[in-house]
Amino acid sequence: NAGVTQTPKFQVLKTGQSMTLQCAQDMNHNSMYWYRQDPGMGLRLIYYSASEGTTDKGEVPNGYNVSRLNKREFSLRLESAAPSQTSVYFCASSDRTENYGYTFGSGTRLTVV
């Protein structure tokens, strides 16, 4: 089925470890996003990519890096995980046209101990 595929679904890291969250979409969307969702905070933008080859910081970029590998893939890297990065992470993609709206991945629940 067409959509956004996000891996892994669950991850436990020790403080200081690194990891990469993978995201791929097959809808030919130009824009891709990484969000984190924390209780009482709503969704907050970490980084986004308006098109292949471009990335920009969002609201909470510190501690993260991203790569827009090609039009389909947008990865999020934690170089040295901290307990404050315990959260649920969502990847999303969108198209500017009225018909497509916004499509989310199923989320990654990350715990940093």
Partner 1 sequence: KNEVEQSPQNLTAQEGEFITINCSYSVGISALHWLQQHPGGGIVSLFMLSSGKKKHGRLIATINIQEKHSSLHITASHPRDSAVYICAVRRDDKIIFGKGTRLHILP
Q: Which residues are near partner 1 by CB under 8 A?
A: 31, 33, 40-45, 48, 50, 56, 58, 88, 90, 92, 94, 98, 100-104, 106-107, 109
**Between 41 and 69, CB nearer to partner 1:** 41
**Between 65 and 103, CB nearer to partner 1:** 103
Q: Which residues touch 38 (CB under 8 Å, ≥6 apart)?
A: 44, 87, 88
Q: Smallest distance, Å, CB 42 to partner 1?
A: 4
Give CA–CA dist 113/76, Å, rounded.
19
**Between 17 and 103, CB nearer to partner 1:** 103
Q: Smallest distance, Å, CB 16 to partner 1?
A: 27
Q: Smallest distance, Å, CB 41 to partner 1?
A: 7
Q: Smallest distance, Å, CB 45 to partner 1?
A: 6
Per-residue CA distances from 25 to 17, 18, 22, 31, 81 (Å): 27, 24, 10, 10, 26
Contact 110, 85 (CB under 8 A): yes
Residue 29's nearest CA partner among 4, 56, 65 is 4
**Between 24 and 92, CB nearer to partner 1:** 92
